[in-house]
Structure 1
Amino acid sequence: MANKILYPLIAVLALVAGLVGYHLLQPSHTPEHTLLYPQPRVLADFQLTSHTGSAVTREQLYGQWTLAFVGYTYCPDICPLTLAQLAGLHDDLQQHVAEPLNIWFVSVDPNRDTPAQMASYVQYFQQAAITGVTAGHDQLFPFVRQLGLMYAMSSTTDEHYLVDHSASIVLINPKGQLVAMFKPELAEGRVPTVRSQDLLADFPWVIRQLAKS
C-alpha cells in the first residue's frame, strides 16, 4: 500500500520539479517597447522654468521618480493623448515606487508656451503631479537631447505652425539619472503614443530590474 502511494507522489514531485526547472531556464522577457539602459545616465545641469514661473534645475529631480516627455500645448494629438494617459495612470504607477512619482511635460515651443499658457494647459488634466517646464532653445535643446529625445522647429511664418517631436516617455530615477525609455507603438493610421497597457506592464518590470542592480 505504501508503495502504491509513494510512486505516484514521486512522479508528481518530479513533474513539478521539471516544470519549475523549465521556467527557470527560459530566457528573461524584455518588453517590446521599453528600453532599460544598462547603466543609469547622469544628466548634466540645466536651467528650465516651470508653469508656475519658478526655476527648475537638476535638483528638482532628486528624491522623486520622474516620467518626462516633450511636446507643446498647441500639439493636436500626441501631447494631449500622452498627458491624459499619464494623468490617468499616475496613481497605479505610483504604487510601484516608494518615492513620489512626478510627470514633466517639457514644452519645446517656448515662443508660444509661456508659464501662463502651460499652467492653463496642465491644470486641464487635473493631476497635481504634472509640471510643465520649458526654456530658451539654448537650454532646451541640450536638455532634450540628453534625455534621448528630439524636436525640430518649423521654419514657416504661419502662426499655427506645428513642431516635430518624439513621442517616447523617459524615466528618471530619484538620483536624477535617466534609466529607461518607454517607446510608442508605431501603426499605420494611428497616432504614435505609448500604449497604456504597455506602460502598466513595463513600468513595474523596470522598477524590479533596477532593484536587482
Structure 2
Amino acid sequence: MFRNLTYVLLSAAALVVGVMLYQLSQMNNEPKLALVYPQPRALADFNLTDQHGELVNRERLYGQWTLAFVGYTSCPDICPLTLAKLAGAQPELATLVKQPLKIWFISVDPKRDNTEQLNRYVNYFDQSNVLGMTAGHDQLFPFVRQLGLMYALSSTTAEDYLVDHSASVALINPQGQLVAMFKPPMQQGELPVINVEQLRADFPLVLNKLNAN
C-alpha cells in the first residue's frame, strides 16, 4: 500500500516538474522585445516613390520579408543608428528565411527628402537590400498607421525642424501582411534605438511563432 502511494506521489511530482519545465522552456522561447500578432494583418494598397523614382506599392512586398521603419534623413540620431544596425544585421537575418529580406526606410519628411536626398542617404550605408522611399502625407499617414507606427508633423517654420516618429520596426511577410513588431528598449536617459543583439536573438523566435500559428 505504501509502495503504491509512493509511486503515485512520485508520478505526481514528476508531472508537476514536467509542466514547470515546459512552461519555463516556453518562456525562454518568447521574444523579449518583439510582438507577434495573433493573426497576420493585411495591408491596403499604397503608393510611394523610392530613391530611384520608381513606384512602391503593395505588390513590391510580395515574395520577400520586409523590415520597415519610419524616419527622415535629417534625423540626428535614431534614424541613422537604426538604419546602420538593420543594415549590419541584414545578412545574418536573411539566412533564416527562404525569401529575400529587405529593409524599407520610409521617410515621413517629403518636404526635404526628395529622391536625390533619399538616394544619397541610403547609399551611405552601402547595403543593396536597403530601400528608401517617401510620398505625400495623404499616402504616408494611412500607410504608416497600417504598420502600427506613427509620426507627427512639426508646426515650426524653421528649416532645421525635427519630426517625431516611432522607433519600432515592423515585420511584413512575403504575402504583404504585417506579422510582428520589434521594439527598442525603453530606458531612461538612453535613445530608443533597436538593440541589434536582441533583434538577432528575437528574430528566429518570431519566425518560430509565425510557423506555429
TM over 0.5: yes
Where do residues 1-213 of structure 1 align in structure 2 (5 Å cutoff)? 22-26=20-24, 28-29=26-27, 30-213=30-213
* Cα distance in 2 for residues equivalent to 1:18 and 1:42: 41
Q: Counterparts of 1:25 and 1:32 in 2: how far apart (Å)?
A: 16
Structure 1 residue 212: deviation in Å? Answer: 1.5
Supply the distance in 2 between the matched residues of 1:161 and 1:21 (Cα, whole angstroms): 55
The answer for the alignment partner of 2:11 in structure 1 is none
Deviation at 1:140, TM superposition (A): 0.4
Which residue in the other structure is 1:3 paired with?
none
1:77-127 deviation per Cα after TM superposition (whole angstroms, max 9, x unaligned): 000000000011011101110100000000000010001100000000000
Cα distance in 2, alignment partners of residues 51 and 20 from structure 1: 54
Measure the CA separation in 1 of the matches of 2:212 and 2:129. Answer: 27
Residues in 2 aligned to 1:26 and 1:54: alpha-carbon distance in whole angstroms: 49
More deviation in 50-59 or 28-37? 28-37
CA contact (8 A) 2:42 2:178 kept: yes
Q: Which amino acid aligns with 1:72?
A: Y
Measure the CA separation in 1 of the matches of 2:167 and 2:62.
24
Amino acid at match of 2:81: L
Total equivalences in the alignment: 199
SS at match of 1:26: helix
Shift of 1:19: 7.3
CA RMSD in angstroms, aligned pairs only: 1.8
Write the distance in 2 (CA, Å) between the matches of 1:40 and 1:171: 10
Mapped partners of 1:64, 1:25: distance in 2:
33
Deviation at 1:66, TM superposition (A): 0.1
Ranges in structure 2 where 5+ consecutive residues have no aligned partner: 1-13
Distance in 2 separating the partners of 1:64 and 1:32: 24
What per-residue deviation string (whole Å, max 9, x for no partner) do you get for residues 51-100 of structure 1?
A: 00000000000000000000000000000000000011011101110100
Q: Report how far residue 23 of structure 1 moved.
A: 2.4
Matched-pair identity in %: 59
Shift of 1:32: 2.8
TM-score after normalising by structure 1: 0.89
SS in 2 for 1:49: strand
